[in-house]
Amino acid sequence: MIELKDISKIYKTKNGEIAAVKNVNLTIQKGEIFGIIGYSGAGKSTMIRLLNGLEKPTAGLVVVNGQPISSISGSKLRQARQKISMIFQHFNLLWSRTVAENIAFPLEIAGVPAAERTKRVKELIDLVGLSGRDKAYPSQLSGGQKQRVGIARALANNPEVLLCDEATSALDPETTDSILELLLDINKRLGLTIVLITHEMHVIRKICHRVAVMEAGQVVEQGDVLQVFQQPQADITKNFVMQVSGTKDSKNSIEQILANYPTGKIVKLTFIGNKTEQPIISQLIKQFDVEVNIVHGNISQTASGPYGTLIVQIVGEDSNVQKALDLLNSIEIQTEVIEHA
């Protein structure tokens, strides 16, 4: 569906060249929700502009839905863009138009007859949960409702790709979750390919199937969301994962835990799927004559299933503690013995 091959984008300024994107390779499958995460300046916004053809790469190839977006122009590019829609952080609604008129706008531009426009607008209003608000103006809507209008407008011409540029960053957490649930529902109903640009790992965890982590214009890590959560490789990825696992101030927290629990071993357990529901701790206590104290724990839901972390203190004879660790590893629960730095 979407391929980026050896993509680089260099901007020339009076102070020299700035490499916004450096040698990026990505493949996004049809019908998946793919997240691109990074902090400000990572190159995310440039990436999304490359995907919709607003920017041309300095080097490399961008293919979307079989069309070489990076090399076509004029009418061919406009035609390709009809299958690529976008929603924005600040909604970009027309304030002098009602909800229905905002949604109808791209249909008007496309020359769709009035009767067909009216029917399509009603379908979209129902789809995004705004029934009864068709005559309201943007100033009369909440932030979440404005974004629902933006989503409905983006779907008007039946796109095959939906690009979301920090689409929930201006919303409160509860509203963010409702918008993410809506995007997940749309993905399932319509088979729409969705690309989410964000700096929030919560957004990735909630609905994305796969993720690419960007730093300084490069993709430093990519993979299935559960895999990245379970075994983050890059330091920036570890930082993002800690944001949603409750261990953001990891170094200080770990040192405090080690100070508070000076005996036995402090072990971090990472587990996924149905293992989050198994009575592992009681099994260790019964089978190996060890004492296990839960120091910190967190379970997060991802689009592919639950992911959990536990930090525990295991006290007992060294041989029994080792047997307990061996059992955990044998049932594919990742273990990490934590020690003072």
Tell me the torsion sign for CA atoms 341, 272, 246, 220: positive
Question: Residue 16 is encoded by which pair of tokens?
Answer: 């020299």
Angle at 44 between CA 40 and CA 50, to 5 degrees: 145
pTM: 0.84
Q: Which residue ranges make up each domain of the chain?
A: 2-243, 246-338
* 246-338: CATH architecture: 2-Layer Sandwich (3.30)
Yes or no: say if 110 and 82 are a contact pair by the CB < 8 Å rule. Answer: yes
Yes or no: say if 21 and 9 are a contact pair by the CB < 8 Å rule. Answer: yes
C-alpha 104/C-alpha 77 separation (Å) is 22
Label residue 223 exposed, middle or buried (CB < 10 Å: 0-12, 13-18, 19+).
middle
- Sequence-distant (6+) residues with CB within 8 A of 140 are none
Label residue 321 exposed, middle or buried (CB < 10 Å: 0-12, 13-18, 19+).
buried
> What is the number of helices (H) and of strands (E) in the chain?
12, 14
Q: What is the pLDDT along the chain (341 residues), one digit of tens a residue?
A: 899 999 999 999 888 899 999 999 999 999 999 999 999 989 999 999 999 999 999 999 999 988 899 888 888 888 888 899 999 888 899 999 999 999 999 999 999 999 999 999 999 999 999 999 999 999 999 999 999 999 999 999 999 999 999 989 888 989 999 999 999 999 999 999 999 999 999 899 899 999 999 999 999 999 999 888 878 889 999 888 877 765 554 555 677 777 888 888 888 888 776 665 677 888 888 888 899 988 887 777 777 777 778 888 899 998 998 998 898 888 878 888 887 54
2-243 domain in CATH 3.40.50.300?
Answer: yes
